[in-house]
Each structure stands twice: as structure tokens, then as C-alpha cells.
Amino acid sequence: MEPEPTDTDDGMQPPARLRALTSWQASKVSLLGARMTAQHMPLTARADFAVLAALEEYGELSQADLGRRLGLDRNEVSGIVTRLERDHHLDRHVDPDNRRRNVVTLTASGKRYLEEIQHHTDTVQDELLAGLTTAERRQLTALLTKLLSSHKPQPA
């Protein structure tokens, strides 16, 4: 099905066959979301959000498990954890059962910081989805969740 022409259809649009591809549209929405996110918070806050949200939801995790859950390599996780530990947003200690593992936990300061980042994230989501009703937003989220769950998880 061909997309409907719009008032902005000034001859500079990509071809209709391209615009009709769900994968192309999803890519454009992703890029738009990333740009909006960058306007509201620094790049480091996006990685911080992922790590803090994982710790909030799953509790104490090893750095390796954080990386696996988030699709990040060990060097990325180490850098994020080091920064968050320096700012007292999480605690890191050696696992007493396996001295080669570091275990990470969320602190009260980290919970407050996560809520602060959540506020910025919510603002971005509201801007990105401004053209949709509340029901359409829920429907889009449900459809994307269903689509993503029907495929094997991919690294980030």
C-alpha cells in the first residue's frame, strides 16, 4: 500500500516504494527519537538510564550480566559502571562467591538519578509520539512489543 501524499510532498521525498517499507519507517522514527533524546539529555545519560533501569528491575547484577542484558561489551559496561560509581549512583563490589566477578547494586542516589532521567525520557516520548492519541500510543507499543518478541534478541 502506497503512503498518502502530504502537503510536504515537494518532489524531494524518497520514492514511495521506500517510504512504504516498515523497516525504513522504523529506522526514520529511531533516528528522530535519537535526535530528540540528544536535545534533552547528554549521551552518557542514555547509557546510565539503561544500566540503572536494569539494576532497578533485576536487582544486584554482575557487570557481565549487565552487558548481556543490555547488549553492551565489557569495556562499555565498565566505563558506565565506573562513572556511576564515582557519582555514587551505584555500588560495585567483588562477588564473594567468585572473586573474578564484580557485582553492582543501585544506590538511593542512583534511584533519584534514574527518576530524573526518566523525566527527560518521558518528555522525549511525548514529543516523538505527539501525533498519536493515547490509544494509538498503546497500540503502537503493543505492536512493536509483539514484533520484537517474535524475533531472537539482537545485540544493541
CA–CA distance, 96 with 103 (Å, rounded to integer): 9
Note the pLDDT of residue 4. 56
Mean pLDDT across 137-154: 91
C-alpha cell at 28: 526514520
- For 77-117, the pLDDT digits (tens) are 999 999 999 999 999 999 888 888 999 999 999 999 999 99
C-alpha cell at 1: 500500500
CA–CA distance, 129 with 116 (Å, rounded to integer): 20
C-alpha cell at 66: 549487565
Note the pLDDT of residue 43. 85
**Residue 76 one-letter amino acid:** E
Note the pLDDT of residue 95. 87
C-alpha cell at 7: 502537503
Out of 1.10.150.130, 1.25.40.10, 1.10.10.10, 2.60.40.10, select the CATH number for domain 41-147.
Answer: 1.10.10.10
Single pTM value for the model: 0.82
pLDDT top residue among 69 and 4? 69
